[in-house]
Amino acid sequence: RADEVTVFAAASLKTALDEIAAAWKAAGGGEVRVSYAGSSALARQIEQGAPADVFVSADLDWMAHVRDKGLVRAGTEVRLLGNAIVLVAPAGSQGPVDLADPLALAAALADGRLAMANVDAVPAGRYGKAALTALGLWRSVEAKVAQADNVRAALMLVSRGEAPLGIVYATDAAADPGVRIVARFPADSHPPIVYPAAVLAGAASPDARDLRRFSARRTPARSSRRGASSGWTSRSQTERLGRGHRDRSSR
Amino acid sequence: MTIEIAVRHAVPGFTLDVDLRLGNGLNALFGPSGSGKTTLVNVIAGLRRPGAGRIVVDGTVLHDSAAGLDLPRHRRRIGYVFQEARLFPHLDVRRNLLYGRWLRGQGGGRAEIDAVVEMLGIGSLLARRPSGLSGGEKQRVAIGRALLSAPRLLLMDEPLTALDEARKAEIMPYLERLRDESRVPILYVSHSVAEVGRLAGEMVALSGGRVVAHGPTAEVMAGLDILPGGVTAEAGVMLDAEVVGTEPEWQLTLLDTAAGRLAVPSGDLPAAGRVRLRIRARDVMLALDPPVGVSALNSLPGVVEAVVATGDSAVLLRLRCNTAVVFARVTRRSAANLDLVPGRRVHAVLKSVALDRAMISL
Amino acid sequence: MTIEIAVRHAVPGFTLDVDLRLGNGLNALFGPSGSGKTTLVNVIAGLRRPGAGRIVVDGTVLHDSAAGLDLPRHRRRIGYVFQEARLFPHLDVRRNLLYGRWLRGQGGGRAEIDAVVEMLGIGSLLARRPSGLSGGEKQRVAIGRALLSAPRLLLMDEPLTALDEARKAEIMPYLERLRDESRVPILYVSHSVAEVGRLAGEMVALSGGRVVAHGPTAEVMAGLDILPGGVTAEAGVMLDAEVVGTEPEWQLTLLDTAAGRLAVPSGDLPAAGRVRLRIRARDVMLALDPPVGVSALNSLPGVVEAVVATGDSAVLLRLRCNTAVVFARVTRRSAANLDLVPGRRVHAVLKSVALDRAMISL
Amino acid sequence: MGRLAGFELSAEEWTAVALSLRVAAVATLFSLPPAVGVALLLARGRFPGHAILNGLVHLPLILPPVVTGYLLLIGFGRRGVIGAALAEHLGLVFSFRWTGAALAAAVMGFPLLVRAIRLAIEAVDRRLEDAAATLGAGPGIVFATVTLPLILPGILAGAILAFAKAMGEFGATITFVSNIPGETQTLASAIYTFMQVPGGDAGVLRLTLVSIAISMAALVASELLSRRIARRIETR
Amino acid sequence: MGRLAGFELSAEEWTAVALSLRVAAVATLFSLPPAVGVALLLARGRFPGHAILNGLVHLPLILPPVVTGYLLLIGFGRRGVIGAALAEHLGLVFSFRWTGAALAAAVMGFPLLVRAIRLAIEAVDRRLEDAAATLGAGPGIVFATVTLPLILPGILAGAILAFAKAMGEFGATITFVSNIPGETQTLASAIYTFMQVPGGDAGVLRLTLVSIAISMAALVASELLSRRIARRIETR
Ligand SMILES: Nc1ncnc2c1ncn2[C@@H]1O[C@H](COP(=O)(O)OP(=O)(O)OP(=O)(O)O)[C@@H](O)[C@H]1O
Ligand SMILES: Nc1ncnc2c1ncn2[C@@H]1O[C@H](COP(=O)(O)OP(=O)(O)OP(=O)(O)O)[C@@H](O)[C@H]1O
Ligand SMILES: [Mg+2]
Ligand SMILES: [Mg+2]
């Protein structure tokens, strides 16, 4: 199936990539098969010779890991999408939280938990921890963090009311009516949130080489359902975010 | 105490249909393989629910289909010695024996336990698990387990078949005592006429799921020739007898029966009191004159009353000796030779050694 | 064909230690419960590996501990009727019966199968599963299964105990024929002297894991009084006999034995040829003069040779009638009355009906 | 020291080990009685909802663990129908507690436990139970004195399966009670965390070996125990 | 249509359903023979490596599924020691094929299968096997004609457990063979994918119900079958 592109993509990108793939196909770009899984699993699979043409990672680290193994076709790497992290609370809750106030976050939590994705392993968690640290808030909430398997699970903990606050991607917060954003983390408080994509060295599909053309169709502007902002950062923002933090491992 | 059983129970290809009223004591259930003995016993124990019927033991209704009544099996207080031992594999012999007792909170009764253990010869097995026991050992433990559970009715399904004669001879007197002293009625399944004759007051003969004969063992035995699985060799009569004296030097005991006086080996017979004596037709020799110079000690004068049955080579004759009936089986040729027709006066000659302990029940 | 068994097998608390050489035909293994019969049979079948020893059947070494040789059980070609039926629960009766045959690729032999099925009376059970069978039915199917597996040695562990007399009477002649016609040696475990006496050419008595008597059944039987579990009632002799004539009108058959001529009921006896007759000591009455006017048809002149054993009430006398030994059990009182001391001339009086089919083996 | 250093556990990891043991043990022990009950119902009962109960028991096996975790969250979370009631009336809180991890492990292991026990119950010779009944034992006593001892090896087999499963379970656990070091971070969650980061393989290996060692020890112990029980109740 | 629309499956989802069925069926069927063999070894064998074999069998239960998946990837992947050998000599490729998903499901279900069969074997009355041997049946024939028929209910119970497990398994599968639509995307992986995106709940519910329906059907069928077998071999 030479005309078919197999994309290994981080599972959190499903909504966005499905739209991009549909647009690509509509523009005569041929079939796209996307295998959604955790970036770690995908990277290990690529390492073991997976028949993937394109890798879209949830963070720069796993992309760097794959690149270091010599599995990425040189010069094909792009920053496909960007994102931001926000502090969310269940939909019915009160007021915003002032992240500049060193006591506000802990006070808002009271004896509840702060839902985050795994702060050591999952990108969203790592970004959140970095931001909280940069803002000097980490110590005050460290013991109250509930680390979920992934950012979606963290979101769910908040929307189900299990946790009063959570740190998730802006895209997730935008898609879930069960939560409202109570604070946005400054973009410079954490490493850039970018989703790098690259053509893999073993890519079989000729179309895959045209990743730039593929990635041009990225950035779904609007979430079709609610008409609100989907939360993805624009292309220009993404490029900007990437600069200066290029390829830095956050660990 | 009475046992009323009127049940109908059908499985594909077999129907048990009995209506019985049994008295106290030991009642035998007799019949060929597949005649429904185990099925009936299971129904009484509550292990099979009859299609229809009523079972009453000692005034307690165990089952009444019409009234929708069915006493749970564990409340029936029935001791059941199964045809296959069914010992608990996870308990040692001692715990198997005491299982029922323990449930009824009767830890005590050491003497009774010891007596049963001794009688069954299982003292050396108490700490063992059932898995290593021989067939007969298992069966003995199973008997002990049922005996010790203080039942109000004891069901024993071929309990002694796995045992040797000597062991049977040890257990039978115990069952006699149980029957006579404990007032626990016993329903005793057996193929052995000798066992039944010795132990059972009443006897029920089953065939094809139906009762074909029922009555005092003596009477049913007398008709054994006509029973299915005709055990001709064992046909005979049961006589009530009174111990009237002993001849200590010869170790003989004298019994007075309705047929006359008989000398039998003393063995463990009491020195006084009543016993029952079984006289098998095949053990009776007939003589026209009182025999002299023969080893047989007993000779009862009597009259031939009837030819009960005629076989190929032998006839079964009913004699009246005094007031009692005695059967004799002789060859047709002897019957012709001696002209043994009704009315003929004869002497029934009986060896004392043929009237051994197996023929006498206490 | 011979069977050599010299094995020692110990389990905690019990040691089997036998050294036997058995001839062809049916050999009985006799002994009280727990004496090691099943253990021995299991060792021969290969189900228990003896601690040490050697087992040779018909020249084939089944086991030789010294040589480290142990023929796998499935290659021993031993038909085994277990003490508990052990039918395959997932196969119907027919498939149970044909299991061994099917394994040996002998689908045919319809006639033989039909004969076995008929003899065992299990024709109506063929399509049933073992679970619903009665105890006796199971046992009969188990017998059929072993018989039909074309074994070179047949082990039967109390095969008839679960059966009624009538059924036994049907199966025994079949076993006699099997013994005589098929040349398959049979090791037959039984507690029943009657069965053993009728069927077995040789007899081994076990007690506590050891052989306490071994020899021709007649000889061992004669010594039964001294055997453990003394089955005194069954003591007697076995006599070889020749059918010399019949009295068709009376359905009697005349047998010539070393002790003299005897008339017995004809039944299914052949009109000519040799049979064996068991005469129980308890059935022998002694008379000083030939009795007249009595129903007993047989009277053998003889001489008291010895008092073999003396019990409380009875003595066992050894007589010589012609060239044969016959035992008689009489009360001590009779022995004294008639002065039955060695050298005394007497007549052994025997009822023909006491010499019934159960006492005769073909 | 040098070469072994890589295999030394951090304090946090020791905590995870201890927690895993506690979670697995509690999950197994507490699910035993209901598992025996359900197995008994399924093996012996003939009632209308039989198939449904059977299906329900198998559900945690059929569903992806995260879905099970999600359902647990909905049911037993702080705002969950059952969770709220339990918290109010019994003071029993599952959400973000190790008890929740135990609940998740118990639920995930339940089908394994029930199946093993059910198989054992179905293998029991009911004639022995009949014999006990004639000796005066009511259904409860028959169960306690005959059935239960006879199915012990099956219960043990099921328990060891459930324990092993609890040691390895993390999908439902992390979804239900997330991953709070010292509270709900079990060995499996810790391993998973290491799997997610590049270069975490050494950590994965180390904790995996610990997990295997613990489960092996449990396995060997259960084998010995079960062999001992089996020897006591063999019928041969 | 309107209200049902949410429950209609897309073409891709139908593919996932079909694939799941195939994966679960193949995994269960192919793991049956080795499971019976291993169960036999564990139940009857007395050999030095007994404990190790037993531990190995339980490993997939003890390890977090992602670790199992990772080990499979390393061992049976294109570059894996075993995977490379199999591909070269037998042309059997697991990596990123549905066969790999089946392998993962088989491995994950193996402990359940073995345990169920082992319990059944241990419940067999060996005296019946002895009887068959005296009738001339060698060990293999005894097994085929006596043991096997008697343990059928246990095998069935194990198979249904393994099948259900295969339907729900995704941790090891997604780690080993990824989540490629039409090739390795099973129902469980599809559910996982839905769980990862906001608003995927409807998809999760829909696919979960399909998964449950399939497993329930299998469950009910196995119950009926097993009851039929059990009736044939009851000893009462
Ligand atoms: N594993 C064992 N451990 C201890 N004793 C045993 C074991 N197996 C058998 N025995 C003992 O060996 C003796 C012989 O047993 P066996 O089954 O051979 O007796 P048997 O002669 O067949 O008796 P029965 O007529 O009652 O069947 C018995 O006392 C039995 O308890
Ligand atoms: N479930 C069943 N289905 C069909 N027939 C059955 C079933 N249970 C018992 N039977 C038949 O009922 C008859 C009576 O069985 P039962 O066990 O009562 O006989 P029994 O008199 O105890 O015989 P035995 O002396 O051989 O033990 C047998 O022919 C048996 O095959
Ligand atoms: Mg019966
Ligand atoms: Mg025996």
For residue E185 the two structure tokens come to 């995307």
By CB atoms closer than 10 A (0-12, 13-18, 19+), residue A166 is buried
Residue C308 has a pLDDT of 75
**pLDDT, position D31:** 95
Measured in angstroms, the CA of D134 and the nearest CA of chain B are apart by: 5
Nearest in space to B26 (alpha carbons), one of B207, B211, B196, B194 = B196
In terms of Cβ atoms closer than 10 Å to its own Cβ (0-12, 13-18, 19+), residue E165 is buried
CA of C41 to the centre of ligand 4 (A): 9
Task: Tell me what pLDDT residue B216 has.
Answer: 81
pLDDT of D121 above 70: yes
Dihedrals φ, ψ of D87, to 5°? -60, -40
Q: For residue B158, which amino acid is it?
A: E
Structural domains of chain E, count = 1
Average pLDDT, chain D: 86
Interface test with E, best of D23, D41, D57, D67 (most E CBs within 10 A): D67
**What pLDDT digit, counting tens, does each position of D127-139 carry?**
999 999 999 999 9
A148 contacts on D by Cβ (under 8 Å): 174-175, 178-179
pLDDT for residue E22 is more than 90? yes
> Rg (Cα) of chain A, in Å, rounded?
18
Which segment, C319-328, E138-147, E199-208, is predicted with the most confidence on average? E138-147
Measured between CB atoms, which of C46, C75, C90 is closest to E233?
A: C90
Q: Which residues of chain D from 13 to 72 reach within 8 Å of chain E, CB to CB? A: 50-51, 54-55, 58-67, 70
Instruction: Establish if C282 touches chain B: CB-CB under 8 angstroms.
Output: yes
Residue closest to E214 by CA, chosen among E80, E23, E11, E5: E23
D132 touches chain B (CB under 8 A): yes
Those of residues 188-227 in A touching chain E at CB distance below 8 A are: 225
Tell me, yes or no, if C163 comes closer than 8 A to chain B by beta carbon: yes
Q: Cα torsion for C52, C53, C55, C61, to the nearest 10°?
A: 90
D-chain CB neighbours of A115 within 8 Å are: 178
Asked whether the beta carbons of A82 and A238 are under 8 A apart, the reply is yes
How many Å from the N-terminal Cα to the C-terminal Cα in chain E? 54
Going residue by residue through chain A, which has 251 residues, state the pLDDT in tens, using 9 for 90 and above: 446 788 899 888 888 888 888 887 887 777 888 888 888 888 888 888 888 888 999 888 889 989 998 888 888 888 888 889 999 999 888 778 888 888 888 888 888 889 998 888 788 888 999 999 999 999 988 888 988 888 888 888 898 888 899 999 998 888 888 899 999 999 889 988 888 988 888 877 665 556 666 655 544 443 333 334 566 665 444 444 444 343 333 33
> Which amino acid belongs to residue C323?
T
Residues of chain E contacting residue A176, judged by C-beta atoms under 8 Å apart: 198-199
> Position of tokens 């509550």?
B46
For C12-69, write each residue's pLDDT tens digit.
889 999 999 988 889 999 888 899 999 999 999 999 999 899 999 888 899 999 999 9
- Checking if the pLDDT of E139 tops 50, the result is yes
Share of chain D above pLDDT 90, in %: 36
Closest alpha carbon within chain B to D151: B90
* B107-111, D72-76, D121-125: segment of lowest average pLDDT: B107-111
* pLDDT digits 0-9 by tens, E109-123: 999 999 999 999 998
Instruction: Establish, for the pair of chains D and E, how many residue pairs have beta carbons separated by less than 8 Å.
Output: 152
Burial C334-343 (b: 16+ CB within 10 A, else e): bbebbebeee
Domains and CATH numbers, chain C: 3-229 (3.40.50.300), 236-361 (2.40.50.100)
Inform me whether the C-beta atom of residue A181 falls under 8 Å from chain E C-beta atoms.
no
Contact E197, E121 (CB under 8 A): no
pLDDT at D9 over 80: no
Report the distance separating Cα C269 and Cα C151, nearest Å.
Answer: 28
CATH number of the domain encompassing residue E188: 1.10.3720.10
User: Nearest bound ligand to CA B161?
Assistant: 1
Q: Which residues pair with B29 in a beta bridge?
A: B189, B204
Edge to edge, what strands does the sheet with C360-361 contain? C260-265, C252-257, C236-247, C273-280, C360-361
Q: D182 or B349: whose pLDDT is higher?
A: B349
Average pLDDT estimate for C316-338: 89
Please judge whether D191 and E67 are an interchain contact, meaning their C-beta atoms are less than 8 angstroms apart. yes
pLDDT of residue C233: 61
Residue nearest to atom 17 of ligand 2 (CA): C134
Residue A50 has its nearest CB partner, among E70, E96, E185, at E96
Q: Which atom of ligand 2 is nearest to the CA of B41?
A: 18
Give the contacts of B253 (CB within 8 A, at least 6 positions apart): B243, B245, B246, B247, B263, B264, B265, B266, B269, B271
Beta-bridge mates of residue C264 = C253
For residue C61, the distance in angstroms to the closest alpha carbon of chain E comes to 16
Type of residue found at D128: L
Cα(A130)–Cα(B70) distance, integer angstroms: 75
For residues C47 and C50, what is the distance between their CA atoms, to the nearest angstrom?
Answer: 9
The C-alpha atoms of residue E168 and residue C317 are separated, in whole angstroms, by: 87
Instruction: Give the list of residues 6+ apart from residue A68 with CB closer than 8 angstroms, or none.
Output: none
Q: For residues C253, C256, C261 and C267, what is the CA-based torsion angle, rounded to 10 degrees? A: -20
ipTM for the whole complex: 0.84
Of residues C341 and B183, the one with the higher pLDDT is: C341
Q: Which residues contact E28 (CB under 8 A, 6 or more apart)?
A: E106, E109, E113, E159, E162, E163, E166
The verdict on a CB contact (< 8 Å) between E77 and A49 is: yes
Tell me which of B18, B37, B47 to substitute to probe ligand 2's pocket, judged by most ligand atoms within 8 Å of the beta carbon: B37
User: Residues near A208 by Cβ (< 8 Å), separated by ≥ 6?
Assistant: A5, A53, A54, A199, A200, A214
Kind and range of the H or E run holding D148: helix D148-168
Q: Which residue has tokens 């069965």? A: C195
Q: Do A153 and D178 touch (CB under 8 A)?
A: yes
**Concatenated DSSP letters of B141-168:** HHHHHHHTT--SEEEEESTTTTS-HHHH
HSE-up (13 A, CA, CB side) for residue B263: 21
Instruction: Calculate helix-pair angle for D50-62, D11-44, nearest 10 degrees.
Output: 160
Q: DSSP string covering C207-274, please?
A: ETTEEEEEEEHHHHHHTGGGSTT--GGG-EEEEEEEEEEEEGGGTEEEEEETTEEEEEE-TT--SSEE
Mean confidence (pLDDT) of chain B: 86
Q: Which pair of tokens denotes residue B112?
A: 């009774």
- Least Cα distance to E130 among C67, B90, C84 occurs for C84
pTM of the model: 0.85
Centroid of ligand 2 to alpha carbon of B34 (angstroms): 5
The C-alpha atoms of residue A72 and residue A52 are separated, in whole angstroms, by 11
Between the CA of D209 and the centroid of ligand 2 the distance, in Å, is 59
Residue D168's domain comprises: 2-234
Rounded to whole angstroms, the Cα distance separating C164 from B30 reads 9
Task: Determine the Cα–Cα distance for residues D163 and D168; give it in Å rounded to an integer.
Answer: 9
Q: A179 forms bridges with which residues in the sheet?
A: A90
Cross-chain Cβ contact C297/B333 below 8 Å = yes
Task: Give E212→chain D minimum CA distance, Å.
Answer: 7
C contact set with E (CB within 8 A): 45-47, 72-80, 82, 84, 86, 88-90, 99-100, 103-104, 129, 131, 145-146, 149
Least confident of B193-197, C41-45, C124-128: B193-197
Q: What is the rounded CA–CA span in Å between residue B149 and residue B143?
A: 10
User: How many Cα atoms are found within 13 Å in the side-chain-facing hemisphere of B301?
Assistant: 4
pLDDT at C222: 63
**Pairing state between β C153-157 and C186-190:** parallel
Alpha-carbon distance of E61 to D24, in angstroms, equals 13
pLDDT of residue B282: 85
Instruction: For residue E62, give the nearest of D59, D112, D215 by CB distance.
Output: D215
Burial class of A94 by CB neighbour count within 10 A (0 to 12, 13 to 18, 19+): exposed
Answer yes or no: are the C-beta atoms of D72 and D81 closer than 8 Å: no
